[in-house]
């Protein structure tokens, strides 16, 4: 029942959620089979699952865009969407918090304890008397073999500047949208996407360098674990953000957004700034300190 | 289900047309009432699956010696029982109640994001399909406890990846459900429904939803680290690589303790609805109740390590977590005293929901007291991993959360189905449950204090008598729940006694202004609030 203009729009039945559930189910059960040494069965199931998720997103977002352009949403619906996005980003913040927490706990407590300070004196004495606490470390058993770390003042610094610049270009684009300058909106949005893609390119180069030349891998003890999980999940989010920005770019070109009504644009912008802020934390705590 | 009732002749312009086809109605639904029903039916199903596991556990423990099963299977049962009851029974029940009642209580046409609401639910059956299927896989399901501590949990076989992904799916479902609830409460209230006029149940869900969004991602992070430790060579929880198994416990319980309150705060909300209704008095200290819930939620973030006092922590840490934990007794005490003060001098009647609510206040408080005992570090060194802990958390979760859910089912079932349940059978269910649950769990305090460890299939003959008593109570409690199902089925499909709009004489609030059963669509236009309509119109007291 598409309600009358002015009332809160309550959509009627949708088959996209169940498609999404099947997609999630296929993705994770396929992935689990793959991990359990049945890649032959797991991979195709996972591929089908991911394909379903993509179909679901295209269909679901397509429906929402049509409804939005069709004028079914009032101010109150807009506020619901905003709250949804804000709390989603908060949940992402907490996801990263778990990994940052692991990094801080390992650096500030675990490694010193393994080196014999505080409550770890006996562990150190009986198991690893040779081990002295240091950071970076791959632990008392030298897991993964000796490795070198990335210097923060090369590619990571460059990447920091790239992301910060992308935040600025996105803001310029947003101001242009609000001022009604369509050309400038699109140009600066495209520039933002480009900066994001360059960032990802450097990140891939950095990983190749780490694996190929520094012997720094996911298996390099606690340093490698925290380094790759934090930067990896961040990179995944940049990828997602870049895809979202690209979608928004196309929507700008199609003229979906008006000066006053462009929540989709703003949601993606919020997400991009969130990814940006996470990177600043990474740069400081993973690379510099 | 409730909708199968042909006797709806409401003449509201709000025409009560619902989708006709079964798939349209239940699979594609965006209706908060239908989704609420789905959650509740799912929860009841999981309650019986988890309950069956509990029966198997109590059967094995009926007498000393190995009775029925291999120890590995026993461990599977304890691990799965917890996962199924926490993520499958208690949490979905509260989300279902929230779905049904929050829009009705704040005068909203539906949840804020109806399509996402559908997705939140329909992820759950797949998540549990994944989890429960591990029982039939080579090597069986998870056996390392629901907390999945490494390194033990990582020594599992095929089930590890499946159960971790199942937990990811449950997390996605919970986060989306919580986002929806927050957006609904903050954005969809009828004009004049100020935050401090909302029913306490709505307040409790607002705060619970915040907790869910804050900690479910942390659980996702923790189990992701388990996954990469097992399959991708990371060393988060390997001391040899510079990690620490205890670090898992810290991350897990940073989720786990707020999770405990996720399972009790909505129960507080429910009890705060029921006691005023049957005492025919407004709740005592409405604002204090709200602030108490908020304080408990805040404290839940700084007490996690009281689950791990004996694992090895600096003394300063032990003391901090001990005192912070004891602080929780203060807002909880405020709540208990306010419930009692609400009853004080009221014109009380004792229908089934009220009986469950009063049992909640008494028995939850017992669980709260044993919790304070566990908070004392030197004493906890004795209680840790004993049956005393099992008794403690079953008092707060069974006679706490589950009793509140049952109270709410009796309280709101007439509004959902349009019929009254059988008061006689409701009372039989109550008395049978409340006696048997104490026979089941109270002796476990003694077992724990005497030193019986938890999570073992066999035990010293010294513990034989209390275990047999506990098992008898367990079978009795389990059987009693069949009465519950009978009462529900009777009420929904066979009861001849129509429910009135207000249902309960002392009931106040917007949900009691819509017909019973509540029409498929309610409050399509926001209600106009009139004096006396809300339970908390005047909050100056």
Whether B250 sits among the annotated catalytic residues: the reply is no
Contact A95 B161 (CB under 8 A): no
Instruction: Say which of B123, B217, B312 has its CB closest to residue A95.
Output: B217
Predicted local distance difference test score (pLDDT) of residue B17: 63
CA pair distance B538, B290, nearest whole angstrom: 15
Question: Are residues A201 and A179 both part of a single domain?
Answer: yes
Q: In a mutagenesis test of the A interface, which of B242, B316, B317 is the best target, namely the one with the most A β-carbons within 10 Å?
A: B242
A3, pLDDT greater than 90: no
Question: Are residues A22 and A107 both part of a single domain?
Answer: no
Q: In a mutagenesis test of the B interface, which of A5, A17, A120 is the best target, namely the one with the most B β-carbons within 10 Å?
A: A17
Predicted local distance difference test score (pLDDT) of residue B16: 55
Whether B81 sits among the annotated catalytic residues: the reply is yes
Question: Are residues A69 and A83 both part of a single domain?
Answer: no
Residue A106 contacts B, CB cutoff 8 Å:
yes
CA pair distance B477, B485, nearest whole angstrom: 13
Residue B132 contacts A, CB cutoff 8 Å:
no
Predicted local distance difference test score (pLDDT) of residue B164: 97
CATH of the domain at A85: 1.20.120.80
Whether B261 sits among the annotated catalytic residues: the reply is yes
Residue B359 contacts A, CB cutoff 8 Å:
no
Question: Are residues A55 and A105 both part of a single domain?
Answer: no
CA pair distance B285, B196, nearest whole angstrom: 12
CA pair distance B271, B360, nearest whole angstrom: 8
Q: Which residues from chain A sit within 8 angstroms of residue B524, using beta carbons?
A: 3, 7, 10
Question: Are residues A46 and A189 both part of a single domain?
Answer: no
Last residue of a domain, one of A40, A73, A106: A73
- Cβ-Cβ pairs closer than 8 A, A with B, add up to 232
Which residues does chain B have with pLDDT short of 50?
1-15, 539-541
Q: Which residues from chain A sit within 8 angstroms of residue B174, using beta carbons?
A: none
Whether B234 sits among the annotated catalytic residues: the reply is no
Contact B114 A119 (CB under 8 A): no
> Helices in B107-199 by DSSP H: which ranges?
114-133, 159-187
Q: For residues B326 and B375, is the Cβ–Cβ distance under 8 A?
A: yes
Whether B174 sits among the annotated catalytic residues: the reply is yes
Predicted local distance difference test score (pLDDT) of residue A7: 82
Compare all CA atoms of chain A with the CA of B20 and give the residue at the minimum distance: A13
Residue B378 contacts A, CB cutoff 8 Å:
no
Question: Are residues A16 and A55 both part of a single domain?
Answer: yes
Cα B286 vs. chain centroid, distance in angstroms? 23
Question: Are residues A19 and A141 both part of a single domain?
Answer: no
Question: Are residues A149 and A251 both part of a single domain?
Answer: yes
* Both structure tokens of B400: 């706490």
Residues A12, A16, A18, A21, Cα dihedral to 10°: -140
Give the gyration radius of chain A's Cα atoms. Answer: 23
Residue B159 contacts A, CB cutoff 8 Å:
no
Distance from CA of A227 to the nearest CA of B (A): 10
* Both structure tokens of B111: 């949840």
Digit-coded pLDDT (tens) for B377-386: 999 999 999 9
The helix/strand/coil state of A272 is helix
CA pair distance B40, B405, nearest whole angstrom: 10
Cα A211 vs. chain centroid, distance in angstroms? 22
Last residue of a domain, one of A73, A92, A118: A73
Element (H, E) at A286: none
Last residue of a domain, one of A73, A92, A124: A73
Residues B109, B113, B117, B120, Cα dihedral to 10°: -160
Distance from CA of B227 to the nearest CA of A (A): 10
E strand segments, chain A: none
Residue A162 contacts B, CB cutoff 8 Å:
no
pLDDT band at residue A2 using 50, 70 and 90 as cut-offs = very low
Q: In a mutagenesis test of the B interface, which of A19, A46, A91, A216 is the best target, namely the one with the most B β-carbons within 10 Å?
A: A91
Enter the ipTM. 0.95
CATH of the domain at A66: 1.10.287.70
Instruction: Give whole-number Cα distances, A187 to A160, A190, A200, A249, A253, in Å.
Output: 22, 5, 20, 9, 10
Residues A221, A223, A228, A229, Cα dihedral to 10°: 90
Number of domains, chain A: 2
Whether B194 sits among the annotated catalytic residues: the reply is no
Taking only residues 10 to 39 of chain B, the set having a beta carbon closer than 8 angstroms to any beta carbon of chain A reads: 17, 19, 24, 27-30
Contact B218 A97 (CB under 8 A): yes
**Full residue range of the structural domain in which residue A160 is found:** 74-288
Question: Are residues A44 and A114 both part of a single domain?
Answer: no
Question: Are residues A167 and A243 both part of a single domain?
Answer: yes
Q: What is the mean pLDDT of residues A24-42?
A: 95
Global pTM? 0.95
B498 beta partners: B419
Question: Are residues A47 and A186 both part of a single domain?
Answer: no
Digit-coded pLDDT (tens) for B20-47: 788 889 999 999 999 999 999 999 999 9
Predicted local distance difference test score (pLDDT) of residue B536: 78
Taking each helix axis as running N to C, give the angle between helix B200-231 and helix B91-106, from 0 to 180 degrees, rounded to the nearest 10.
Answer: 150
Question: Are residues A41 and A99 both part of a single domain?
Answer: no
Q: Which of B146, B286, B421, B459 is catalytic?
A: B146
Residue A224 contacts B, CB cutoff 8 Å:
yes
Side-chain half-sphere CA neighbours of A201 within 13 A? 8
């Amino acid at each position: 029942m598409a309600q009358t203009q002015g009332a809160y729009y309550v959509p009627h039945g949708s088959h996209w959620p169940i498609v999404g559930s099947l997609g999630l189910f296929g993705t994770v059960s396929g992935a689990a089979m793959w991990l359990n040494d049945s890649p032959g069965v797991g991979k195709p199931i996972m591929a089908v699952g991911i394909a379903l998720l993509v179909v679901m997103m295209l269909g679901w977002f397509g429906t929402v865009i049509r409804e939005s352009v069709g004028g079914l949403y009032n101010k109150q619906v807009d506020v619901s969407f905003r709250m949804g996005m804000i709390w989603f980003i908060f949940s992402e913040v907490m996801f990263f918090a778990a990994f940052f927490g692991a990094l801080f706990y390992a650096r500030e407590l675990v490694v010193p304890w393994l080196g014999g300070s505080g409550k770890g004196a006996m562990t150190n004495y009986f198991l690893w008397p040779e081990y002295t606490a240091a950071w970076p470390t791959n632990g008392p058993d030298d897991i993964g073999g000796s490795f070198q770390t990335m210097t923060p003042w090369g590619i990571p610094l460059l990447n920091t500047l790239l992301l910060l610049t992308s935040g600025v270009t996105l803001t310029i684009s947003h101001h242009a949208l609000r001022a009604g300058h369509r050309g400038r909106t699109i140009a600066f949005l495209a520039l933002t996407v480009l900066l994001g893609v360059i960032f990802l390119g450097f990140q891939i180069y950095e990983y190749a360098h780490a694996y190929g030349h520094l012997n720094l891998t996911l298996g390099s003890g606690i340093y490698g674990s925290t380094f790759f999980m934090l930067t990896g999940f961040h990179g995944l989010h940049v990828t997602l953000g870049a895809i979202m920005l690209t979608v928004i770019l196309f929507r700008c070109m199609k003229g979906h957004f008006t000066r006053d009504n462009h929540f989709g644009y703003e949601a993606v912008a919020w997400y991009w700034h969130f990814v940006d802020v996470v990177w600043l934390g990474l740069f400081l705590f993973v690379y510099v300190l | 289900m409730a909708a199968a009732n042909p006797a709806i002749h409401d003449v509201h312009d709000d025409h009560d047309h619902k989708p006709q086809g079964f798939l349209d109605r239940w699979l594609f639904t965006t209706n908060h009432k239908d989704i609420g029903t789905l959650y509740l039916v799912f929860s009841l199903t999981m309650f019986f699956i988890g309950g069956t596991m509990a029966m198997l556990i109590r059967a094995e423990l009926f007498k000393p010696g190995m009775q029925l099963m291999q120890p590995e299977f026993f461990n599977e049962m304890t691990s799965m029982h917890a996962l199924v009851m926490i993520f499958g029974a208690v949490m979905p029940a509260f989300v279902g109640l929230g779905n049904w009642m929050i829009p009705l209580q704040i005068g909203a046409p539906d949840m804020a994001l109806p399509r996402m609401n559908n997705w939140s639910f329909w992820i759950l059956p797949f998540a549990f399909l994944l989890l429960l299927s591990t029982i039939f896989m080579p090597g069986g399901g998870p056996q390392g406890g629901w907390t999945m501590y490494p390194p033990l949990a990582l020594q599992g076989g095929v089930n590890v990846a499946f159960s971790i992904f199942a937990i990811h799916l449950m997390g996605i479902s919970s986060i989306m459900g919580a986002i929806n609830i927050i957006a609904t409460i903050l954005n969809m209230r009828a004009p004049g429904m100020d935050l401090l006029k909302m029913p306490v149940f709505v307040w409790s869900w607002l705060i619970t939803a915040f907790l869910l969004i804050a900690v479910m991602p942390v659980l996702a992070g923790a189990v992701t680290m388990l996954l990469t430790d097992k399959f991708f060579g990371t060393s988060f929880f390997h001391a040899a690589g510079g990690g620490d198994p205890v670090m898992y416990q810290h991350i897990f319980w940073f989720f786990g303790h707020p999770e405990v309150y996720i399972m009790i705060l909505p129960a507080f909300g429910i009890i705060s609805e029921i006691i005023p209704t049957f005492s025919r008095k407004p709740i005592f200290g409405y604002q204090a109740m709200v602030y108490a819930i908020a304080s408990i939620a805040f404290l839940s973030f700084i007490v996690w390590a009281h689950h791990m006092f004996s694992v090895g922590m600096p003394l300063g840490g032990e003391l901090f977590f001990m005192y912070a934990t004891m602080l929780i007794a203060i807002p909880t005490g405020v709540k208990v005293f306010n419930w009692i003060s609400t009853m004080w001098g009221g014109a009380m009647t004792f229908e089934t929901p009220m009986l469950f609510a009063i049992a909640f206040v008494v028995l939850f408080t017992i669980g709260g007291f044993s919790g304070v005992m566990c908070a004392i570090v030197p004493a906890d060194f004795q209680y840790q991993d004993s049956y005393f802990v099992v008794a403690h958390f079953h008092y707060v979760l069974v006679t706490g959360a589950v009793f509140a859910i049952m109270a709410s089912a009796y309280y709101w079932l007439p509004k959902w189905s349009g019929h009254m349940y059988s008061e006689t059978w409701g009372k039989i269910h109550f008395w049978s449950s409340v006696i048997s649950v104490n026979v089941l769990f109270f002796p476990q305090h003694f077992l724990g204090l005497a030193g019986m460890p938890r999570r073992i299939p066999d035990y010293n003959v010294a513990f034989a008598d209390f275990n047999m008593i506990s098992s008898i109570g367990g079978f009795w409690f389990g059987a009693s729940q069949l009465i519950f199902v009978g009462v529900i089925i009777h009420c929904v499909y066979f009861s001849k006694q129509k429910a009135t709009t207000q249902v309960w004489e002392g009931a106040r609030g917007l949900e009691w202004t819509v017909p019973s059963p509540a029409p498929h669509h309610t409050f399509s236009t926001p209600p106009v609030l009139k004096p006396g309509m809300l339970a908390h119109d005047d909050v100056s007291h």
